Amino acid sequence: MTALIHRKVPDSRMQIIEVTEFWVRSAVIRLRHRESPLQFVIYPMIHMAEPAF
């Protein structure tokens, strides 16, 4: 399972979450503008539970 986010450039993808047999990795994403000090930092979360939950 891999979640992808698409950029404006065709055929260009950024992997956010990677799941393999051995680990789960996620990327921290910083959204900012060159002309502003304001930035947003996104920390992806994974929730694990039993299917009955």
Q: What is the predicted pLDDT for the residue at 40?
A: 92
Q: How far apart are CA 21 and CA 41, in angstroms?
A: 28
Q: What is the predicted pLDDT for the residue at 10?
A: 55
CA distances from 45 to 7, 10, 31, 35 (A): 21, 27, 17, 29
Per-residue pLDDT of the chain (53 residues; tens, 9 = 90+): 444 444 455 555 667 788 888 888 888 888 888 899 999 998 888 888 888 87
If you write DSSP's letter for every residue of the chain in order, what string do you get?
Answer: -EEEEE-SSTT-EEEEEEE-SS-EEE--EEEE-TT-S-EEEE--------TT-
